[in-house]
Amino acid sequence: MTVPAATETQRSLLRRAARLGRELKLPAAGALASAVLATLARLLGPLAVRTGIDEGINAGNKGVIASASLVFIGLLVIQYFAQRLAQFAVAWLGERYLLLLRTTLFRHLVSLDMGFFARSKAGVLVSRMTSDIDSLTEFVEEGAVTFLTSLLTVVGVAAVMVAVDWRLAGVVFLIILMVLATSYVFQHFAGRAYRDVRETIGRVLASLQEGITGVRVVQAFTQEGEQAGAFGRVNEDYYQANMRAAKAIAWYFPGVAFLRTVAIGSVLFFGGRRVLDGDLTFGSLVAFLFYLDWFFQPIINLSHIYNQVQSAIAALGKVFRLFDTSPTIVESAQAIDLTPPVAGAIEIRGIGFEYVPGTPVLDGIELSVAPGERVAVVGETGAGKTTIAKLLLRFYDPTEGSVTLDGHDLRDLTFASRAKTISLIPQEGFLFNGTLRDNLRYAKPDADDRQIRAVSIEMQIDDWIESLPDGLDTEVRERGARFSAGERQLVALARAFLADPAVIVLDEATSNLDPETEAKVEGALSAVFESRTAVVIAHRLDTAQRADRVVMIDNGRIIAEGRHDELVAAGGPYARLVEVWSRGAGIDPR
């Protein structure tokens, strides 16, 4: 059987994997040395048996028999301890490598730009970190030691068989050529099947996640059958891919076992005749039969773990394809930090932007925001207002034009400086699993409890924090499930306040709240906005009314700009938008 990494692509993958784990070179050398020692001790055993038979039993020398027995037992002891050491060393090495791989992959994923995540399905990305890494884990925990020792044994036994009797070895090698040819055909079909398995499992996980996440919509529109059917079609593809792999295995393993039996019979036939003719010693024939069994057994072992090897290599290929994805938003080598104090003046000059080449989303946007000014950006859905917020946060770079902060192009600032200066408050406050304290100081990890308390008092949420069972040590649970939407939003606001940015980018934080909670959030917003530049993506009329200036976007262009009351009095598109808002809210637009 050939090594599973025989193709150029697989060799390239393994070289890349080796480069990633180059810091583990010394432990890898130690694991290999212990495996080699265990293999050598095993290979020398039949030679001791041959000596005991030919020079002890046949010659009637009990001393040789005793010596050969002691040597054989000593080799078994060495093999036992070396094998134990090799098994632990390979397992430790594999787990350390997976630890490094998971950490490096996650660090790479979170460094990628928003465009990548907009193009990628969350379920597929999760499968890279779960299913694909699990395939590597399965190989590390169950197959790596077997793979290494079997490979060493095949090579070692082949060399020793030639040394014992090259003519018998030639008979065996002719049969091995048939095994290798069978293995080559098996690899061709099984390799393709395992690649299909890895592809389809990602689709299965993506479909499963989508169905569970959107279960309320599914049930609201009674689409359970359709959703189950869509999942069933993807699941059927996964089943068929696994069955193609199973068919390849079903004919390969029995074929190798049959050839093994043929090899044993051939050695007995030719070797036995030569023993009778006096051309080969009986001890050499016995030793050769030992080696023959050991020669085929590792090949069968390699066949049994071939699916693990192929799955691991296929998974490795998918993981490295993620590594090959480079972020489009990168920090310039000449990037600088803003020198405090930061005024927070924003200039948007001639901005054009396209998510998809040839399909403009923004076109020729010109906008200046003075330090401490609150600007509301309004417009219908799809007008481009959220895209402006993404450009301000440098989630994307403009296709043309520039965005500057205090006269510095955002592309010329370090990521850390930009993040410290401009904070995002999303429409839904996102909280991470952990304590309330952890979430409050997420943007400022060095903040102490005194600073947190000062912020909570200023935002008038200190009483709420003290009312929690464990105060700042309260576990928020996954995605902040312990708190209501309004409480999550208050934490998000306090987090931004604690970071003390010069510029706040706010995606309407009160649009989904009840009136009482909205009043609390509005009070907190007033504290956050104090003396800070704010760009608010407004979805509601009252937000635009409170802004110093309103900018209306339509089809990627600014079509109206000014104070709310002035724009309403002037008529035009903003006045019509306000009228629509007012009818929906049942209020007087004035």
> Of 323, 358, 384, which residue sits at a domain end?
323
Summarised one tens digit per residue, pLDDT across range 568-587 is: 888 888 888 888 877 755 45
Q: State the residue for tokens 């301000």.
A: 392
Residue 209 token pair: 């996640």
Question: What is residue 584's predicted lDDT score, i.e. its pLDDT?
Answer: 58
Task: Compute the CA torsion angle 442, 443, 449, 454 (nearest 10 deg).
Answer: -130
- What is the distance of C-alpha 99 from the center of its chain? 12
Answer whether 510's CB lies under 8 Å from 543's CB: yes
Residue 333 covered by a domain: no
Residue 506 token pair: 């706010």
Same domain, 390 and 528: yes
Spatial separation of the C-alpha atoms in residues 274 and 278, rounded to whole Å: 6
Answer whether 392's CB lies under 8 Å from 422's CB: yes
Same domain, 506 and 399: yes
> Of 289, 323, 357, which residue sits at a domain end?
323
Determine the average pLDDT of the residues in 192-220: 77
Question: What is residue 142's predicted lDDT score, i.e. its pLDDT?
Answer: 67
Question: What is residue 8's predicted lDDT score, i.e. its pLDDT?
Answer: 42
> Of 292, 323, 354, which residue sits at a domain end?
323
Amino acid at 130: T
Of residues 99 and 184, more confidently modeled? 99
Same domain, 244 and 355: no
Residue 365 covered by a domain: yes
Same domain, 352 and 318: no
Determine the average pLDDT of the residues in 465-472: 85
Same domain, 310 and 375: no
Which residues constitute the domain of residue 432?
A: 346-585
Spatial separation of the C-alpha atoms in residues 500 and 451, rounded to whole Å: 11
CATH of the domain at 145: 1.20.1560.10
Same domain, 146 and 237: yes
Residue 330 covered by a domain: no
Amino acid at 571: G
Residue 2 covered by a domain: no
What residues pair up with 507 in beta bridges, in sequence order? 537
Same domain, 100 and 59: yes
Same domain, 267 and 378: no
Same domain, 171 and 279: yes
Question: What is residue 322's predicted lDDT score, i.e. its pLDDT?
Answer: 84
Same domain, 491 and 380: yes
Residue 16 covered by a domain: no
Same domain, 316 and 354: no
Instruction: For the chain, give the percent of residues with pLDDT over 90.
Output: 11
Please tell me whether the peptide bond between 341 and the residue prior to it is cis, using omega within 30 degrees of 0: yes
Instruction: For the chain, give the percent of residues with pLDDT over 70.
Output: 92
Residue 6 covered by a domain: no
CATH of the domain at 484: 3.40.50.300
Residue 12 covered by a domain: no
Summarised one tens digit per residue, pLDDT across range 144-164 is: 777 888 888 888 888 888 888
Same domain, 413 and 449: yes
Predicted TM-score of the model (pTM): 0.66
- Three-class secondary structure assignment of 533-553: EEEEECCCHHHHHHCCEEEEE
Question: What is residue 416's predicted lDDT score, i.e. its pLDDT?
Answer: 86
- Domains of the chain: total: 2
Residue 148 covered by a domain: yes
Report the first-to-last Cα separation within the chain, whole angstroms: 83
Determine the average pLDDT of the residues in 413-418: 89
